[in-house]
A and B are shown apart, each in its own frame.
Chain A
Amino acid sequence: MGAVIVFTVFFFLPGVMGLFYSFTNWNSMSDEVKFVGLKNIMKLFSGKYHFDQYIFNTVKFTVLTMVTKTVVGILLALLLTSSLIRLRSVQRMIIFSPQVMSFLIVGLVFKSLLNPATGFVNNALRDAGLGFLAQNWLSDAKLALYSVIAVDTWKGVGYLMIIVIAGINGISESYYEAAKIDGAGFWQRTWSITLPLLRPVIINVSVLNLTYGLRVFDIIYSLTNGGPGHATEVINTAVYSEFSKGNYAMGTTLSSTLFIFVMLISYFLLKAMEPKENTL
């Protein structure tokens, strides 16, 4: 059972060790590790060190990307399964293609496109005579998190679309035929047949999106590195910056908070989903 050993040593063990070290003053300055009780956790929620803002940003990022990806993904899936549209499979592939690229690369691509002076987006707006819409996309503290969310949606929505398409293709035609005979229009069919039958699929991807959002690191690190100021700092970017400062105890406290948070949410989600799966 090599799988169990590798997983335990390099994944599970650090998680458990992390819980322990959350109560210490572990850092890169000294070899000695002292037990400090709840000091780190108090620090986290005291509101003095921005940590509560990072947690808030993480939740905001998670909720908003879940909503945008789900809504846009379902709309795209409906469009690209409609027989009215030409070149469906080519367009599906184009929309899915960002999915195969690294978050880091996507981050760098958009960092260059969104550059306020030289980037493509502002240039295109100016050429179209819409120069007043040009923004400091990533360096305006009010806008930066939304820009990051937009880029993340751009990258991730193709995944959701493909899964919803697979779900739609799994629905038997006979439902739609019966509904057509009963005189149901497109929206009525979508609302009362497609969406209810897609519910298990949508719940599954929402769980994946949720755990992705809470753990997000790459895209934020490469686009803004948490800035400007701490406007886009999330838990995992804060872990990395505490880590590089040598402040290991604070890093692991943040990481463990995330760990417990994600475990609790997943547990309740799984509990909530179980009975429904049986009735479907």
Chain B
Amino acid sequence: MGILLNVITVIISLIFLIPLLVVFLNSFKNKAESNTMTLHLPKEWVFENFQVVIERGKLIQSFFNSFFYAVAGSLLIVLLISAAGFVLARNRSRINRFLYYFLILGIAMPINNVTLMKVMKLTHLINTRMGMILIYAAINIPISLFIIYGFVGNIPVEIDEAAIIDGCDAKNLLVRIGFPLLVPVMVTIFVLNFMGIWNDFTIPLYYLNNSEKWPMTLAVYNFFGIFENQWNLVCADITLTILPVLILFVLAQKYIVGGVSAGAVKE
């Protein structure tokens, strides 16, 4: 029984591993060999594929674009949300409760990209990096607030009370007591948003028509369209695009898995 279950589980894991392995192996093959995709090792390892891809796929530029959107967007979210979360969770007046429900409404709400385009044009933010960051902040605020709100609820109110007795005012309470206690959840939210923005594809598709500002996802999609019959190059491009998130995943595993479950399992 135990052996059988182990075999089944390993087969399932392979189903999740093999697609990535195929892409990885084919990224080292020459054009002829990669024409039929198989799991065989490459007969000769062609490392130039990666060089070609980096040059023709504009990968360096788009890597830095993605990096900028992800870092700036996530920082903005963390800043806005930690202040909002602390205030909304601590001071539960009628209006604050309303604001909280108003904001987390966005977890389920679909975004209307057609009219958002109109807003972007009116505010002259279309095709700008600033505009991208603001949209990402708006989209990701709801779920981030939801996570941080629950977290603040778990911090004992006695800590605040002690600080106020010691003569701490509201602003200092937030900066000296609130933020330090929120650091772990802020890291989680930062990492989750970083990956979300890094992986996003819809927003630049709608709001960026200047390829200089494209993130990696859009660059690789475009590359795929042009080189669709050169699987070795396509695979190399995909490999290079996946690599940064996989590295981040291995490094920040704890925060990612923890944050993912925090969103759904109420403790």
Contacts and interface: CB of A to CB of B under 8 A. Distances in A.
B17 A94 contact: yes
A258 B110 contact: yes
Interface residues of B, number: 86
B187 interface: no
Given A7-B103, A10-B139, 9 more contacts: A3-B80, A3-B103, A13-B119, A14-B119, A104-B220, A118-B36, A119-B37, A242-B114, A251-B113
Contact of B84 (A3, A80, A93, A127): A3
Contact of A104 (B103, B110, B201): B201
A67 interface: no
B163 interface: no
B5 A11 contact: no
Contacts of B39: 120, 124
A249 B265 CA distance: 40
B5 A84 contact: yes
B115 A6 contact: no
Contacts of A166: 261, 265
B170 interface: no
A4 interface: yes
A30 to B, nearest CB: 15
A21 interface: yes
A139 interface: no
Interface string B30-47: 000001111100000000
B119 A17 contact: yes
Given A108-B221, A109-B19, A21 B115 contact: yes
Contact of A98 (B5, B16, B38): B16
B260 interface: yes
Interface in B119-142: 119, 123, 134-135, 137-139, 141-142
Interface in B122-169: 123, 134-135, 137-139, 141-142, 145
Contact of A108 (B6, B105, B111, B224): B224
Contact of B264 (A100, A208, A243): A208
Contacts of B118: 14, 17
Contact of A14 (B116, B238, B246): B116
B134 A10 contact: yes
Interface in B64-103: 79-81, 83-84, 87, 99, 102-103
Given A12-B106, A95-B16, A163-B260, A3 B141 contact: yes
A252 interface: yes
Contacts of A271: none
Contact of A105 (B116, B206, B241): B241
Contact of A93 (B10, B141, B253, B264): B253
Contacts of B145: 3
A143 to B, nearest CB: 18
B60 interface: no
B contact patch SS: helix
B117 to A, nearest CB: 8
Contacts of A214: 110
Nearest to A218: B201
B201 A118 contact: no
Contacts of B198: 102
B177 interface: no
Contacts of A111: 224
Interface in A58-103: 76, 79-80, 82, 84-86, 91, 93-103
A228 interface: no
A84 B221 contact: no
B16 A154 contact: yes
B18 to A, nearest CB: 8
Contact of A84 (B2, B36, B84, B200): B2
B261 A104 contact: no
Given A6-B134, A119-B37, A201-B264, A100 B245 contact: yes
Contact of B231 (A12, A14, A118, A221): A118
B80 A85 contact: no
A46 interface: no
A169 B114 CA distance: 44
Nearest to B81: A3
B210 interface: no
A207 B246 CA distance: 27
Contact of A109 (B23, B111, B265): B23
Interface string A223-248: 00000000000001001101100001
A202 to B, nearest CB: 9
A255 interface: yes
Contacts of A207: 108
A207 B143 CA distance: 13
B35 to A, nearest CB: 6
Give the most central of A97, A99, A112, A166: most B CB within 10 Å: A112
